[in-house]
Amino acid sequence: MSGITSIRLRNFRRYEDETVVLQGGLNFLEGENNAGKTSVLYACEYALFGRVGALAPSALMHPKTRTVGVELCFVGRDGQHYRLQRIHVKPPKSKTTVHGHFTLKSRAPDQEAETYIVSSDFDDLETDLAAALQDALGFTRRAWQLAVHHRQGKIADILEGSTQLDMVLGVTSAVFVEEEFRAMALEREKAARDLPALEAKLEQLAEEREGRVSRKAVLGAELEAAQKRAAEVAERLQSLDARRQSVEQLAELVSAQWEAQSETDEATADLRRAEEARDALGEKSALDATVDDSARRETALEGARTTAQQAQRELHDEAKTLAAARGDLEGRLRRRQELEGGGQCDHCGQEVTAEHLAAQIPPLEAELTALNAQIGEVDNRADAAQATLDAAEEAWSAARLAASEARGVAERHGAAQETVDAASGQVQTTRAALEAAKSAVIAAVPDIDPDAIATHLQTERESVTADGARLDADAEHAAELVERISTEVGEVDDAIARCDRDSAEAHTSAEKLKSDAAVAKRLRVLGKGFKSVQRDLREGASAQMGERAFAIHKHLSGDDRELKALDIDPKKYAVLVTPKDVGSKVPAALYQGGGHRLLLGLAVKLALAEQIGPFPFVLLDEPTYGLDGARKLALLERISELEVAGQLILITHADLGDAKGHRQRVVRDGNHSRIVGGAP
């Protein structure tokens, strides 16, 4: 089954939140006038196209709400199940502005998971949604208006014809092609007018190229001569380079001679200064004798110093021994004097009497006096020994200093002699180098007096410099000439290449214009041919649609015998009928009564839907409007027998009687509309 399975309306006109469930085949939306049946069909149009006729989304909102939305579920031509959701929201405090959102998803019949196709949340556009819906349903908005949604009271309008049928029947494409061919032919004919100017330009470019080629030949000869002259100057410069190299070699030899002479003079002066410094120190033999005498005196005085040091140490030891004895004697005497009245000895712990002490103190005092005298004598001898030692130290230091000075003078004399020897060797080396440099200079210019070599060198240098400046100027002039001619040759080559490019482009353009002229003639012929195509398309579509409309009309009217034929005018698609009692074609919109016009219009509409379809569904809004009760039921029954689409959704306020089809009843509850369901 293909067609709509459900329509959910949220805040849509008088609907708060209602869902219409539909089935394949014929579906009835029944209810009283102004119950809200047509709003269901408007909801389909809103979901598919975002608006209903000239009504803005804000005009579709339920009173006192700021949102409107519709969810449309349907099965497409490919058998896929689709869910289309569209909503418009009015922002807070806004009176006119609304923001729209849409989403289209699909799923396979045997699956539950849905896949996004397009969504405004993914930055998809309305054009993307329209293309996806056209693929799924097979119709555009224009086809919706002409053949899918048949509005109440507008069905019979088709009898008067409509030029919009050209668009849905494919005739417009032929018109467009014919106009395109004519425009393309005109464009090519206009372009072909430039052909004479292009041909004249080709002749001008050919003349210019010939002149450039002649000029290039002249420049080639001039360039060859300039290059030959530059080569001659280059050869002369090479010869001059050989002379310059010879002069430079001689200059290097002369410079080496001067450097060798300078080094010889410097070495001789160094030798003279070294000899003077050596002679200033004295004769070597006298210096050696002084060193020997100083060494002997130093040795002798060092022995006397050693003897004095030994005597001084011996007296020092003797003085220390006497001082220790005196300290012991003074201690014994002091202890006895402290026990003068008797008492216990601190040293041995025995009792000592006064008589005993009186007998011991005088001898100790006498012994101490004698010991002091001995110590005084030793101190005097020690002072004398110290004086002797000081004199020996002083004499030895003086002798050692004199010996050191004598040795230093002798060593400096030896170093000075070494310097003299080295300077003498350097003098010999530099003199040999000088002689070799002189020989090299003489060998280089054997015909020149050695005293005149410097003058000869200066003369040669000046000559080479002058010749070099002259040849450099000649070389620069020759190079400039070659460069100038080469540059002009390059410019001529560029000009020739430009002429070739311009000629090729002009030739290509001329050939294209010739081709355009021929194509323009063919396009004119093709354009005329599509005039016939348009006529054939209109006539074929009109004849086919008229034949099918006549058959549908006979079915809907119960095989009415009043009409002999039904034709559609191929120019404006107006419907013409041939009544049996008249026997000629008359406009159906003028001849027939209201009920008959409705049947004819419905037949033409359904024939159109068949011809440009098939469509998954067709919507009929009050197709029985204006018919009496018996005719309404008969028409509804006969409509259910048609197979113009997989699903017919029909709105009616008439009593359906026993008409077959799925029913949904729309009722009005105050300011709201509701779906209360129905029975098949």
Residue ranges covered by each domain of the chain: 1-139+613-680, 281-339+353-426
Place of tokens 């908005």: 141
Which run of H or of E encompasses 297? helix 284-338
Encoding tokens for residue 276? 């003077």
Maximum Cα interatomic distance, the chain, rounded to a whole number of Å: 205
Helices and strands (H, E) in the chain, number of each type: 12, 17
Place of tokens 């005109």: 186
Output the pLDDT for position 461.
Answer: 80
Omega before 363 within 30 of 0, i.e. cis: no
| Regions of the chain short of the pLDDT cut 70 | 1, 167-185, 187-191, 340-350, 352, 520-534, 536, 559-560, 591-592, 629, 657, 678-680
What CA–CA distance (Å, rounded) separates 88 from 65?
11
Output the pLDDT for position 189.
Answer: 65
8 Å CB contact between 69 and 87: yes
What CA–CA distance (Å, rounded) separates 572 from 585?
15
What CA–CA distance (Å, rounded) separates 425 from 429?
6
8 Å CB contact between 680 and 662: yes
Map residue 534 onto helix, strand or coil: helix
Give the CA angle between residues 39, 43, 48 to the nearest 5°: 150
**DSSP designation for 59:** G
8 Å CB contact between 572 and 560: no
What CA–CA distance (Å, rounded) separates 45 from 144?
9
Contacts of the segment 639-644: beta carbons below 8 A, 24+ positions apart = 639/26, 639/556, 640/25, 640/26, 641/555, 642/552, 642/555, 642/606, 644/552, 644/606, 644/609, 644/610, 644/613, 644/614, 644/618
Size of the chain in residues: 680
Strand partners, 72: 7, 84
Comparing C-alpha atoms, which of 89, 84, 156 is closest to residue 119? 84
Across 227-256, b (16+ Cβ under 10 Å) vs e yields eebbeebeeebeebeeebeebeebeebbeb
**DSSP designation for 615:** B
8 Å CB contact between 20 and 35: no
Encoding tokens for residue 213? 């080629």
What CA–CA distance (Å, rounded) separates 680 from 664?
9
Query: What does each C-alpha distance from 160 to 156, 577, 605 come to in angstroms?
Result: 8, 12, 12
Average pLDDT of the chain is: 83
Map residue 84 onto helix, strand or coil: strand
Output the pLDDT for position 403.
Answer: 82
- The top-level CATH class assigned to 1-139+613-680 is alpha beta
For the chain, the first-to-last Cα distance in angstroms comes to 17
Output the pLDDT for position 555.
Answer: 87
Contacts of the segment 412-415: beta carbons below 8 A, 24+ positions apart = 412/281, 413/278, 413/281, 413/282, 413/284, 413/287
- The top-level CATH class assigned to 281-339+353-426 is mainly alpha
Which run of H or of E encompasses 107? strand 99-107
What CA–CA distance (Å, rounded) separates 244 from 87?
99
Output the pLDDT for position 176.
Answer: 47
Output the pLDDT for position 175.
Answer: 47
Beta strands in 250-380 (DSSP E): 343-344, 351-352
8 Å CB contact between 41 and 621: yes
What CA–CA distance (Å, rounded) separates 162 from 167?
10
Query: What does each C-alpha distance from 205 to 120, 202, 413 come to in angstroms?
Result: 60, 5, 104
The residue type of 56 is A
Comparing C-alpha atoms, which of 23, 11, 116 is closest to residue 74? 23
Place of tokens 């009692």: 581
What CA–CA distance (Å, rounded) separates 605 from 159?
9
The residues near 227 (Cβ < 8 Å, ≥ 6 apart) are: 482
Across 43-54, b (16+ Cβ under 10 Å) vs e yields bbbbbbbbbbee
What CA–CA distance (Å, rounded) separates 584 from 590?
14
Strand partners, 649: 27, 619
Computed from CA positions of residues 490, 494, 500, 503, in that sequence, does the dihedral angle turn out positive or negative?
Answer: negative
Q: Show the DSSP H helices in 70-194 as ranges.
A: 126-137, 141-143, 165-169, 171-192
pTM: 0.51
Give the alpha-carbon dihedral of 539, 544, 546, 550, to 10 degrees: 160
